[in-house]
């Protein structure tokens, strides 16, 4: 078999397995009136590699959520392009599922109804097949006993798990996580990080994860993309070569410490730029605590 054909087969197989590639190519995005545009992302080029968990960190307000919206197709770049397995991203689609900072569960639907909502609406998974997949995911996320509960009857961690199941039932080619554990208390957040990591290590679905917590980034990531101050560009891509499966003990290893030192040095430099523009106090406070 010719090498080009072999590569095409490998790429197709990876896409079917939820191991797709996302490419940002010279992407720029600005907001505001035409005569007073504020650039948020400028000439950004970065890859989210197949089967990897790529984590984005950067100063507060640098454009991390804008990157999420662009990949999801909720917004369009002013220039440049975003590719999913060589196809241009032009709008939202179920091959890119987002879990947001705030819960997006439908409050008048049960856990089960929330999970099956997408496939049921589209009609692409029906009857026993839909029921069986929903039940499988309920077991996977540990919510079988809570399938008839409404969102307000669930803890914050349970709501996050329900949203993961609701995204996974669509079998996306990439999962996009926009600081999904930000509103949880410290214990729930740690448990959700471990739970999410187990899910990822089980299926190796391509993931883009946005966070403001450097320890969370190191614990989860295959690669950490460190962004500059606004307008965002890639300052550094740091390989996280910690073995999998992982546990929190690894964060105290010399390897993890060196990754943290390198990332913190860049982030501190970018935070100072934010301060000079009057936009970085909250970021510096967060990362100052993380560095103690």
pLDDT in tens, 103-138: 889 999 999 999 999 998 888 888 999 999 999 999
Tens-place pLDDT, residues 3-30: 343 344 344 444 445 789 999 999 999 9
Nearest CA among 88, 124, 48, 101 for reference residue 213: 101
- Asked whether 105 and 159 are in contact (CB, 8 A), the reply is yes
DSSP 8-state symbol, 105? -
For position 60, what pLDDT does the model report? Answer: 83
What are the boundaries of each domain within the chain? 20-33+47-95+173-292, 105-171
Query: pLDDT category, 240, cuts 50, 70, 90?
Result: very high
**Class for domain 20-33+47-95+173-292, per CATH?**
alpha beta
Q: Token match 């009057």: residue?
A: 278
Residue 42, SS3? strand
- Strand order in 38-48's β-sheet? 38-48, 22-31, 79-84, 87-88
């Amino acid at each position: 078999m010719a090498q080009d054909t072999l590569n095409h087969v490998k790429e197709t197989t990876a896409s079917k397995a939820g191991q797709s590639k996302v490419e940002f190519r010279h992407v720029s995005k600005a907001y505001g009136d035409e005569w007073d545009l504020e650039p948020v992302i400028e000439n950004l080029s970065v890859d989210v590699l197949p089967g990897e968990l790529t984590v984005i960190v950067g100063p507060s307000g640098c454009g991390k959520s804008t990157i999420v919206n662009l990949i999801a197709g909720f917004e369009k770049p002013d220039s440049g392009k975003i590719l999913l397995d060589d196809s241009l991203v032009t709008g939202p689609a179920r091959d890119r599922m987002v879990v947001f900072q705030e819960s997006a569960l439908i409050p008048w639907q049960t856990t089960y109804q929330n999970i099956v909502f997408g496939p049921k609406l589209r009609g692409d998974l029906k009857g026993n097949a839909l029921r069986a997949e929903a039940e499988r995911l309920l077991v996977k996320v540990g919510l079988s006993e809570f399938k008839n509960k409404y969102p307000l009857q669930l803890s914050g961690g349970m709501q996050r798990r329900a949203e993961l199941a609701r995204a996974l039932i669509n079998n996306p080619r990439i999962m996009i996580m926009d600081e999904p554990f930000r509103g949880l208390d410290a214990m729930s957040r740690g448990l959700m990080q471990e739970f999410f990591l187990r899910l990822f290590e089980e299926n190796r679905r391509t993931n883009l994860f946005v966070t403001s917590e450097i320890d969370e980034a190191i614990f989860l990531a295959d690669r950490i993309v460190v962004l500059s101050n606004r307008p965002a560009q890639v300052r550094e891509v740091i390989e996280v070569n910690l073995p999998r499966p992982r546990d929190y003990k690894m964060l105290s290893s010399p390897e993890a410490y060196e990754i943290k030192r390198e990332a913190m040095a860049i982030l501190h430099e970018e935070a100072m730029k934010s301060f000079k523009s009057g936009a970085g106090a909250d970021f510096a406070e967060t990362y100052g605590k993380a560095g103690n």
